[in-house]
Amino acid sequence: MLGSVQIRLSAWYFLSIMVSYMSLFFSTSIILDLFFMLKNPFSSTEARIKKMTFVTMIMSIIFASVGLKLTLIKQNDYSRMNLWLFIAVSVSNILLGIVIMIFVFWRFRKKGMSKTIKSQI
């Protein structure tokens, strides 16, 4: 394949899977954001969201780069590994989200939680 064609295809592929990973990580970042908000209710919301967005972008770029590298090896096994990597990241995200949500609900259901927050305010 010509170099220019490969570069074009690789760029398209990288962009596409980066956005796919972004979609996954942003979903988890909402739950993480809720967790950090409960941990420190008086921290800056904007700073927290900027931090989340930055981390999501970096993670997406790293995973998309790994995916592209695996695909460019030109072996089916490595390409399949890329799909399994995506599945692993998806499952990890879902599990992490569930664990954090359980923790958040547990904190809300804890006796005296609302009083503690009120007294802090």
Partner 1 sequence: MAQNAAWKNLQHVQRVMDHAMSLKSDNSTLGYDDYSVNCNPGDATVSYDDVGETYFRIDIAGFTISFIALTCVGLVILTDKKLRTHPNELIAYICLSDAYNYFQILSRYIYCGFQISTYLDVIFSHTFLWPFYYVKMNWFGVEKIEGLTWD
Determine if 43 is a binding residue for partner 1 (CB under 8 A).
no
One residue of 38, 51, 66, 90 binding partner 1 per CB under 8 A: 90
Query: Counting contacts by CB under 8 A, is residue 16 touching partner 1?
Result: yes
Shortest distance (Å) from residue 107 CB to partner 1: 18
Token reading at 97: 């989200």
Interface with partner 1 (CB under 8 A), residue from 43, 49, 58, 101: 49
Check binding of 66 to partner 1 (CB under 8 A): no
